[in-house]
Structures are given as structure tokens and as C-alpha cells.
Amino acid sequence: MSFSKKVAFHTLGCKVNQYETESIKNQLIKRGYEEVPFEDKSDIYIINSCTVTSIADRKTRNMLRRAKKINPDAKVIVTGCYAQTNSREILEIEDVDFVIDNKNKSNIVNFVGAIEDISFEREKNGNIFQEKEYQEYEFATLREMTRAYVKIQDGCNHFCSYCKIPFARGKSRSRKKENILKEIEKLVEDGFKEVILIGIDLSAYGEDFKEKDNFESLLEEILKIKDLKRVRIGSVYPDKITDRFVELFKNKNLMPHLHISLQSCDDTVLKNMRRNYGSSLIRESLLKLKSKIKNMEFTADVIVGFPKEDEIMFQNTHDVIKEIEFSGLHIFQYSDREGTIASNMDGKVDAKTKKQRADRLDSLKQEMLIESRKKYLEKNLEVLVEEEKDGEYFGYSQNYLRVKFKSDEKELINKLINIKIKCVENNVLIGEKEM
């Protein structure tokens, strides 16, 4: 087969997946491949899959079928979390040529080269739990607008009863501190003012090293980097918000926003999820952080309709979320994931009830979106400007609220601007540039 070396990508799921796709893309471009949009005719299509929900699985299957429709002669490669956990299932789909698991993902550029030259086995799938050390991704920096994502960790040791991610990503593995610091220093040299730390379980950082380290000590080192203005944390578990962690937020360069892996605020549901804490810890840790750190905001993931969740349990979750007041929520209706403990639990909640609970939580979300933003009226927020459209500038505040303002000035992109908030429109803060 003759190749013109065109390659197209589609990434599903989290920023970690996006970060890894960026590495694959950059390596292939370096070797002479041309990236084209996924909807264009390409020689190779690479789908980096997610398996957090059944919807994610379905989206993967839809994308690989779409690739073959665009070019029936193309080679379609599936990698990522769905490829790790369900490789044989994927191979049964005639539109798939190759399945490459997470264990081999960082080396996918060599597999792509092999397609052209030799007979190539259709499946590369090993035991992800054999991975003991963090795998570096060459040329992996994920840049988005004026921010850059830095992966510091992979894998998860929690084995929550509903989740397939440990089976897709393996046990927690931490990236060497010197490599993290080197990447961030290079980003600062390139003009980036903000970095976002990402991983599957950030708070587990360093626990796998022979000489035990921790996430807090890494943060302390990152915050010392000269000319780095903003450090943002991707996601944490509520039980990792220690006193030392709270103290770090007194550094003005650590952004006062956290995305919380919440899922539930009911003790029984949390126990059934195999979380090792209860609702009182959630309340205490998040409210303490809010009370100590100015303008602290939280967003969170929540699952409704978990097996055995009754009306009282749901209401407990609803009430704690309302008390804490989140600036955003990602609401998921529980779905069975093959091979998980929860999939075999009795007490399944029917689809109608799950939707009703999701709708009620969404109503609360809308109320909180308004209230969380109204309190900044007539106050000043520092905004990192990301884009401009017809004289209107957009960016994010320190606590991750979207802000819009008008200005006749040019070249404000990637600058930190003080904005006085005047009103709220469609959950966006509208302000004026301070003179």
C-alpha cells in the first residue's frame, strides 16, 4: 500500500488523553506526516478512546466506523482506555485495523511506521498492571489558548466500585519531578503564564517512589519557578485537602479553584462506591478551604442513580452540594461498566428516576451558577486574556470564571488584566478594563 502520510486524530475523554494525543501527533509530524481534519480523507485515522461511560464506548465505535466511511482504504487505529479494557470486542468490528493499548500508546509512532513496511499484528495489548514506572511522552505539551497542560501522573489505586479506569490505566505512577519542572520552565520561556497540572489521581503523586514524595512538595517546587504567574490544579479527591494543602493556596500564584471528584455526598452511597470518607469530611474540607482562601471556587463531578440510592440519599447529596455552592457541576446518570463491582450490585435505579434526579440537580446547578457569579459584581478580578472577537476579549479569572470585556487596545492576548465586573450574561461575567 502506498501512503501519502496523511494522518487524522480524534480524542475522547479527559485532558490526559488529549495530552497523549498531542505527543503522538507531534512525533508523527516530526517524521514527515501531515495532520488533516478527521472529516478529510486520510491514510491513517487514530482514535484515542475513553471508557468512563458506556456513552464514551459508543462514541468510539461511531468514530471508527465514520473513519472507514470517509476512506475505506485507510488504516484505522484505536488506542486509549477502551482499547485497553475491551480490545477483543473492538477487534470484532470490521472497520478496525489495529488496537493498541495504553501500555503501548507512547510508542504508537513506531507502530504507524511499521504499518507501511511490514506485516503488522492487529493487537498490541498487555497487562497494564505490569507498568511500574511513569512513561514519558515525547513532545507532549498540550497547549490550549494561552494555557498549557502538564501531565504529572498516571494510573489510579482507588478501585472505586463503579469505575474501570484502574483497569485501563493501571496503578498510580508518578512522573520524575525534574522532568515536570523542566517542562514547566520551558513553557515559561515560551511565554506561557499559566500551567494546569493533570493526571488520573494528582493527589497520589510521589507515593510510588522509593523515597516517598507527595503532591504538596511538588507544588511547592513548581511555585518557585521564576516568571510563572499561574498554577492550576486539575482535579482532586476531597480527602486530600489537608492543612498543608490549604496553606499552599495562600501563594497568589496557585489559582483558587479546584475540580472535585465528588460523585456523592451521602454516607451510604459513598461507602457503596468504596470511597474511604463520608459526607462530613466533604463538608468540612471544602468549607474550610472556602473560608480561608479568598474567592475560592469549586466545580465537581456527581453521579446520580447509583445502585441502592434512594430519595433520602439523593437529597443528602443535593443538600450538601447546595450548602457548599459550586460554580459548576458535571452530572452523570449512573451506568453499569462491565467488570466493576457496582455492575453486579442489586438495587438498580430505573432510568426515569435517574433522569428526574439529574434534572433536579441540574436545576440546582443553574441556581448556583447565577449565585456564584453575582457575588463578584462591582469587584475586580484578574483575567488571563485568551481570545478576541470583534473588539470583545474573553478570558478566565483566577478562580476559573469566564470573563468578557470590551477594549480598543490591541495585543491583549496572553496578558493579565484587572477587570471590574459589571453584570452577568449567560453565566459569563461582563466587565470593564481598569484604567
**Which pLDDT score, from 0 to 100, does residue 126 have?**
59
- Within a 10 A sphere around the Cβ of 169, how many other Cβ atoms? 25
Our CA angle for 344, 350, 351, nearest 5°, is 115
Is residue 385 within 8 A of residue 406, CB to CB? The reply is no
| Chain mean position to CA 40 | 27
Q: Identify the three-state secondary structure at position 207.
A: coil
The model's confidence at residue 93, banded by pLDDT at 50, 70 and 90, is: confident
Amino acid at 101: D
pLDDT, tens only, 264-280:
999 999 999 999 999 99
Spatial CB neighbours of 259, under 8 Å, sequence gap ≥ 6 = 233, 234, 235, 236, 298, 299, 300, 301
Q: What is the pLDDT of residue 125?
A: 58
- Contact indicator for 336, 366 with CB cutoff of 8 Å: no
Instruction: Please report which confidence band the pLDDT of residue 1 belongs to, taking 50, 70 and 90 as the band edges.
Output: very low
Per-residue pLDDT tens over the stretch 333-366: 999 998 899 999 999 999 999 999 999 999 999 9
Domains and CATH numbers, the chain: 6-126 (3.40.50.12160), 142-374 (3.80.30.20), 380-433 (2.40.50.140)
Residue 351 or residue 112, greater confidence: 351
Which three three-digit cell numbers place residue 191? 511565554
Rounded to the nearest 10°, the torsion over CA 301, 302, 306, 310 is 170
Read off the pLDDT band of 408 (50, 70, 90): confident
Distance separating alpha carbons of residues 262 and 129, to the nearest angstrom: 26
Strands 194-198 and 147-151: parallel
Residues 6+ apart with CB under 8 A from 355: 333
- CA dist 180 and 199 (Å) reads 12
Taking the C-alpha atoms of residue 53 and residue 40, their distance in angstroms, rounded to an integer, is 28
Tell me the three state secondary structure of residue 384. strand
* C-beta separation of 183 from 215 below 8 A: no
Residues making up the chain, counted from first to last: 435
Strands (E), 266-401: 297-304, 328-333, 380-389, 392-397
pLDDT band for 316, please (50, 70, 90 cuts).
very high
